[in-house]
Amino acid sequence: MTDALTMAKRFAFDREPLSVEPYGCGHINETYLVKQAGSRAILQRINRKVFPDIPALMENVAGVTAFLRRVVSREGGDPGRECLRLIPALDGGSYAVDSEGEYWRVYAFVEHTATLQTAETPEQLHSAGVAFGRFQRRLDGYPAATLHEIIPRFHDTASRYEDFERAVAEDRMGRAASAAEEIAFVRARRGEAGRLVSLLERGELPLRVTHNDTKLNNVLLDEKTFAPMCVIDLDTVMPGLSLYDFGDSIRFGASTAAEDETDLSRVSCDLNLFESYTRGFLSECGALLTDAERELLPFGAKMMTYECGMRFLADYLAGDTYFRIHRPAHNLDRCRTQFKLVADMEVKTAEMNAAVARSL
Ligand code: ADP
Ligand code: GN1
Ligand code: MG
């Protein structure tokens, strides 16, 4: 495979790339830090199996980053720190393709920022809420019809349920018996899987331009103050529901433990963190949301957690072909934390509703 340094040299940097090293902890793309004399950048090899049409994906990213830059400037913000900037390839395109057909791209590094894997304080999660709420608000006028639907039915939980049942039926690795309890957990909640998509189809929830992968580590915060800075990982920006963005952030950020924690007694949905994120998110985009969206925020959190757990479990059953794993049964561990969170959210629904009401 073409090495990352060779690929870095195919982009239009001011200074020669000197070294590259693996960076970050995403499950899908391969990310590298490129160092030059006096500056650095982010180089990524985009996952071809997950994203079948990378030129379309890059068209979305280029469109969204250019749009955001204009909005940030209009609002008197700093586009250099508040939105991602693609560094073009030497041929002027937004990506470069290597001899094996792999796609690579480069972003300018947003300096003096931090990425968190877990929120250490409610203030940090509040900041993430502000960042993603702002992202939603700033993209409100984006011409949604020009966006490619990069992964169709990405957050269609009913369709994800069908994929999951297929993985159970095929049981390609002979693992279903070892995950009987988890499979039963998913099946017991089958009736709820289609609720959000039905509301969308009936016109009771509006389609918006959403990020769709709003993990805490997909936002850069100021390294000193933890003020919200820049939303990153724009591969899945597509038309979607506000509840997807809110819900996925809660799934990851309001959990008291890592996504792959094996000691489930440490995993719960922290109501303090939930309320902090909610306040931040709504302070930016609350005025945009309809009553139905506001009421469904806690349900959105539960559905995104349920859906993600189901995806981890389906991938475990299918032989770990989608999410990168770092140990055997990693995806089974991941699905267990998600289901622990779902069960905890079910117990805490009334408190979550009250927290939303207080945050409006
Ligand atoms: P993945 O798809 O693998 O999750 P991301 O785009 O989220 O890739 O990048 C992985 C990590 O790299 C992020 O969590 C963040 O720490 C860092 N990162 C990505 N883009 C930038 C950037 N422009 N400036 C600074 N850090 C970045
Ligand atoms: C993947 O790329 P990354 O790590 O930010 C996944 C998300 C999941 C998440 C679970 C394109 O996100 O949908 O919620 O893992 N991205 C894609 O951690 O499938
Ligand atoms: Mg990421």
CA–centroid distance, residue 233 to ligand 2 (Å): 10
CA–centroid distance, residue 75 to ligand 2 (Å): 30
Amino acid sitting at position 243: L
- For atom 3 of ligand 1, the residue with the nearest CA is 26
Q: Which residues contact 297 (CB under 8 A, 6 or more apart)?
A: 243, 246, 247, 278, 352, 356
Find the helix or strand (DSSP H, E) in which 34 lies: strand 30-36
Pocket test for ligand 1, best of 27, 28, 31 (most atoms within 8 A of CB): 31
Q: Which atom of ligand 1 is nearest to the CA of 235?
A: 2
pLDDT digits (tens, 9 = 90+) for 235-288: 999 999 999 999 999 999 999 999 999 999 999 999 999 999 999 999 999 999
- Our CA dihedral for 18, 1, 217, 208, rounded to 10 degrees, sits at 120
The structure's pTM equals 0.97
pLDDT digits (tens, 9 = 90+) for 91-117: 999 999 999 999 999 999 999 999 999
Q: Which atom of ligand 2 is nearest to the CA of 235?
A: 11
Residue among 89, 92, 106 nearest 42 (CA): 106
- pLDDT of 2 higher than 80: no
